[in-house]
Amino acid sequence: MQKDIVTKSLIEELAACLVTRLLKIPVVPASIEWLDTEQHRVEYRRADMVVRIQPCEDEEPCLLHLEIQNNNHPQMPLRMLRYYTDIRLRWPKEPLRQYLIYTGKAKLDMPAGLPDFNYCYELIDMRTIDCALLLSEDTPDALVLAILCDFKGRSARDIISYIIKRLHQLTFEHDDTFRRYLHMLCSGQVFSYHLRG
């Protein structure tokens, strides 16, 4: 689905903000290192985001795997397990944290793992996160991510107008930067997702 593709591109652009603000993992921002996870099988599969991070300056680096899902896929726990084994086989000595971020409109009803295998991962439902959390950060990255959150009954038009106005104010000296953030917001029906609400 188009929204899923757009969300993945947002995650790539906004990785540091996502890790620190949404996942609440303290991280040394310069330590985020993107890792290639392409696997050669009969089918093509690549994890949405795998990065090596250093949570705090006095902690050891670890791998962070993040998947974005905009619908309730019944096989998602098995897919997450497959990503887990692919990543662990490639980097066997590094600790791994996995998160699935759900951005769909329908109520989240996927399990957060395979209990019979004693396998679990973190599951985050963007629809339950108050957009005020990210709006209060008042950075371009956080403002763009706020569009995926719950507006908590606030007018979608007012929130979107506020985000655009603040993005313009925060990037007014750099037209290219403003256009890049605006493109993230406008791409793939993200506006209409809320305005249809």
| Residue-range domain boundaries for the chain | 1-128, 131-197
pLDDT for 3 equals: 42
Q: What is the pLDDT of residue 196?
A: 46
Q: Can you give the pLDDT at residue 175?
A: 83
Separation of alpha carbons 159 and 146, rounded Å: 9
pLDDT of residue 188: 38
Rounded distance between C-alpha atoms, residue 34 and residue 130, angstroms: 28
Matching CATH number, 1-128, of 1.20.1330, 1.10.3470, 3.30.1490, 3.40.1350? 3.40.1350
pLDDT in tens, 33-73: 878 766 555 455 678 899 999 888 788 899 999 999 999 99
Measured at the CA of 43, the angle between CA 37 and CA 44, to 5 degrees, comes to 35
User: Within the chain, which residues score under 50 in pLDDT?
Assistant: 1-6, 42, 188-192, 195-197
What strands lie across the sheet with 33-34, from one edge to the other? 33-34, 49-53, 62-69, 96-102, 122-125
Q: Whose CA is closest to 104, among 85, 126, 130, 89?
A: 126
